[in-house]
Amino acid sequence: ARPVSPGRYEVTQRVAAVEILPGLRTEVWGYSGTFPGPTFELRRGSPAVIGVRNELPVPTSTHLHGGVTPPGSDGYPTDLVVPAGYSSAHGHPGEVLHPVVKDYRYPVEQRAATLWYHDHRMDFTAPQVWRGLAGMVLVRDEEEDALPLPRGERELPLMICDRSFEEDGSFRYPHTAHSTGAGGHSAGTHGAGTHGMGGGAHGLDDGTHALDPDYLEGVEGDVILVNGAPWPVAEVTAARHRLRLVNASNARRYRLTLSPKARFTQIGSDSGLLAAPIDHDTITLAPGERHDVIVDFLNYPPGTHVTLLNTLSNGPQGKVMRFVVTRRERDDTAVPATLSRPPRAPRPVTTRTFDFRRTNDSWTINGHRYQPGVPLASPRLGTAEVWRLTSDFHHPVHVHLAHFQVLARNGRRPDATDAGWKDTVDVRPYEVVDVLARFDGYRGRYMLHCHNLEHEDMAMMADFEVV
Ligand code: C2O
Ligand code: CU
Ligand code: CU
């Protein structure tokens, strides 16, 4: 995306028809009418304003995932940009409606990192992201510029997600006929009849909070897309390439590996460069997580077809994309043994527990379904805390604003792919994950939640307030 004036971008969310499956048209709800939306390249120290205009039939809220963002621009679920003529007769308490346009202000004081943005509307994040409301943001800085990493054509942002399709090419997202009704809002109280595809159904796509027993695992699609394309091919030279991997799926996890085998050299995690590179044969990515890796295609003879596999699935979901190695090319790049000086982890001032669990047929945190405006914790600005994340199920836990390091899983060493500063961590069934979170940047209202977007919409979120 190009700025319209220095530091100012404008993007219109609109309905568009695109070709995803060969010969078929898919209606997407896209930033700029594309899926994924445009990639924004921002620089540390250069504040950006992104004016988001909503020409969709539904309200939206845009969240910069991994962004250190003031609360008014963080994409709070009830801070909505609403279409022209929209009126909400029965909105959520505290709901704020911006007619048609909102300027999101990003100071961009954070380190270089692979971020992404997506819709965060209360109760409807999962179906709205599924229809296309997601894209990438690359933050660059001088520390990273000074490194001899692959760039330009050899830097590939790869947004991975899964979708299902109807025979005519339209996205298929479940509308189920039942609803437990357990405290849920009734359909239409805040969709106000503008909810598009399949309006009037009950269940996952109607904004009730009820836990849907048919979709405990969330919604997975049977077609894996990379940057919106099924099973794409990238031509690469026999040289080092930087792959910025983002899992933008609603609920699917990936365990990525290359075939024929080659190593991923991880240089960055969710929140920026690692102190030093780490080699992996496989990379696991839960929804919301990112990994920044270097692959050296010089390991393969020209002509090799290299497959990026997802070993968590067999069958069609087991293959993500292909690389075709074209020719040798002069390669001046390197992966230095020292990449960066990430911020030090300060001493924690306290420990809090957040228990992600099914309670009375709802997805809850510490026994609570999400209530906007009711913070479960009030950490102090400039401090660090240990947050102990416990769970009865598989929940990718995401924290807004605060970046964290994984200290331990079940009291033992974290996984190799947990390294670095992160904003999302996969908490597996019955696991106890300790993270050390820093509350830097801004005071105000933020949130933590499960990034399985169906769990999120079923109220597995909580506010915290930085004081
Ligand atoms: Cu990527 Cu609160 O979300
Ligand atoms: Cu986020
Ligand atoms: Cu979850």
170 domain-assigned? no
| Atom 3 in ligand 1: residue holding the nearest Cα | 65
Between the CA of 400 and the centroid of ligand 2 the distance, in Å, is 5
- The amino acid occupying position 445 is R
Query: Ligand 3 centroid vs 450 CA: distance in angstroms?
Result: 5
Cα separation, 311 vs 320, whole angstroms: 10
Statement: residue 200 has pLDDT above 90: no
422 lines ligand 1 (CB under 6 A): no
445/365 same-domain check: yes
Amino acid at 124: F
Give 345's pLDDT tier (boundaries 50, 70, 90).
Answer: confident
pTM: 0.94
Q: 451 CA distance to ligand 3 centroid (A)?
A: 6
Residue 198 confidence class, pLDDT cut points 50, 70, 90: very low
Q: Measured between alpha carbons, how far is 209 from 181 in angstroms, rounded to an integer?
A: 8
From 142, 177, 202, the end of a domain falls on 142
| Residues bordering ligand 3, an ion, CB closer than 5 Å | 395, 450, 452, 455
Answer whether 288 contacts ligand 1 (Cβ < 6 A).
Answer: yes
User: If you take atom 1 of ligand 1, which residue's CA is the nearest one?
Assistant: 65
Count of domains observed in the chain: 3
Q: Is residue 450 part of a domain?
A: yes
Q: Assign 137 a pLDDT band (cuts: 50, 70, 90).
A: very high
Confidence of residue 307 (pLDDT cuts 50, 70, 90): very high
Q: Does any domain span residue 48? A: yes
Whether pLDDT at 266 is above 60: yes
Ligand 1 touching residue 398 (CB < 6 A)? yes
Q: How confident is the model at residue 199 (pLDDT cuts 50, 70, 90)?
A: very low
The answer to whether the CB of 252 is under 6 A from ligand 1 is: no
Distance CA 85, CA 87 (A): 6
The answer as to whether 162 is a domain residue is no
**Cβ contacts of 392 within 8 Å, gap of 6 or more:** 356, 357, 358, 429, 430
Q: Is residue 183 a part of any domain in this protein? A: no
Q: Same domain for 415 and 323? A: no
Q: Is the pLDDT of residue 45 over 90?
A: yes
Instruction: For ligand 1, say whether the CB of 63 is within 6 Å of any of its atoms.
Output: yes
Length of the chain in residues, anyone?
Answer: 467
Amino acid at 377: A
Please state the rounded mean pLDDT for residues 188-207.
43
Q: Which two tokens stand for residue 107?
A: 């100071």
Under the banding of pLDDT at 50, 70 and 90, the label for residue 203 is low
pLDDT in the model for residue 191: 35
Residue that wins the pLDDT comparison between 215 and 335:
335
Q: With CA atoms as reference, report the closest residue to 24 among 130, 165, 143.
A: 165
The answer as to whether 112 is a domain residue is yes
DSSP secondary structure letter of residue 126: H
Asked whether the beta carbons of 224 and 250 are under 8 A apart, the reply is no
For residue 370, the model assigns a pLDDT of 95
Domain co-membership, 378 together with 448: yes
Q: Is 455 in the pocket of ligand 1 (CB under 6 A)?
A: no
Mean pLDDT of 408-429: 97
pLDDT tens-digit profile of 368-398?
999 999 999 999 999 999 999 999 999 999 9
Q: Are residues 450 and 353 in the same domain?
A: yes
Rounded to whole angstroms, the Cα distance separating 37 from 32 reads 6
Write phi, then psi, for 154 (nearest 5 degrees).
-95, 15
Ligand nearest to the CA of 119: 1
Q: How far is the CA of 93 from the centre of ligand 3 (A)?
A: 25
Atom of ligand 1 nearest to the CA of 288: 1
What gap in Å lies between CA 95 and CA 79, rounded to an integer? Answer: 6
302 shares a domain with 381: no
> Does the CB atom of residue 77 touch ligand 1 within 6 A?
no
Q: Is the pLDDT of residue 207 over 80?
A: no
CATH number at residue 392: 2.60.40.420
Task: State the distance from the centre of ligand 3 to the C-alpha of 417, rounded, in angstroms.
Answer: 20
Q: Give the nearest ligand 1 atom to 424 CA.
A: 1
Tell me which residue has tokens 């379904």: 369
* CA separation, residue 237 to residues 150, 295, 300 (Å): 12, 11, 10
Sequence-separated (6 or more) residues with CB below 8 Å from residue 85: none
Q: Is 65 in the pocket of ligand 1 (CB under 6 A)?
A: yes
CA of 117 to the centre of ligand 1 (A): 8
Ligand nearest to the CA of 65: 2
Is 338 domain-assigned?
no
Work out the pLDDT band at 91, boundaries 50, 70, 90: confident
Q: Is residue 18 located within the same domain as residue 135?
A: yes
- What integer is the mean pLDDT of 360-374? 94
* 441 CA from centroid of ligand 2 (Å): 15
In a domain? residue 192:
no
Q: Which of 93, 113, 142 is the last residue of a domain?
A: 142
Q: Note whether 135 and 22 are same-domain residues.
A: yes
Distance of CA 424 from the midpoint of ligand 2 (Å): 8
The verdict on 230 and 267 lying in the same domain is yes
Query: What integer pLDDT is reported at residue 205 of this predicted model?
Result: 75
The answer to ipTM > 0.95 is yes
12 and 126 in a single domain? The answer is yes
Looking at the structure, tell me whether residues 319 and 354 fall in a common domain. no
Tokens 């906007």 sit on residue: 372
Q: Decide whether any atom of ligand 1 lies within 6 Å of the 449 Cβ.
A: yes
| CB-based burial label for 461 (10 Å; 0-12, 13-18, 19+) | buried
pLDDT value, residue 212 = 78
Q: What is the pLDDT of residue 209?
A: 67
Angle (CA) 4-84-250 rounded to 5° is 75
Question: Does ligand 1 have an atom closer than 6 angstroms to the CB of 221?
Answer: no
Domain boundary among 142, 175, 203: 142
Nearest ligand to the CA of 64 is 2
CA 310 to ligand 3 center in whole angstroms: 21
Q: Is 263 helix (H, G, I), strand (E, B) or coil?
A: coil
Instruction: List CB contacts of 145: < 8 A, sequence separation 6 or more.
Output: none
CB 69 within 8 A of CB 26: no
Contacts of 315 (CB under 8 A, 6+ apart): none
Largest CA distance in the chain: 63
**pLDDT value of residue 87:** 84
Indicate whether 369 and 451 sit together in one domain.
yes
- 271 Cα: distance to centroid of ligand 2 (angstroms): 11
Neighbours of 376 (CB within 10 A): 18
How high does pLDDT run on average in the chain? 93
Q: Let me know: does 283 contact 275? Beta carbons within 8 Å.
A: no
Reported as type and span, the H/E element at residue 199 is none
Nearest ligand to the CA atom of 449: 1
Gyration radius from the chain CA atoms: 21
pLDDT at 93: 85
pLDDT at 204: 74
Instruction: Render 362-377 in DSSP notation, one character per residue.
Output: EEEETTB---TT-BS-
What share of the chain in percent tops pLDDT 70?
Answer: 93
What domain range includes position 366? 348-466
Considering the domain architecture, whether residues 96 and 14 belong to the same structural domain is answered as yes
pLDDT tens, position by position, 149-179:
999 999 999 999 999 999 999 999 997 644 3
Q: Which atom of ligand 1 is nearest to the CA of 66?
A: 1
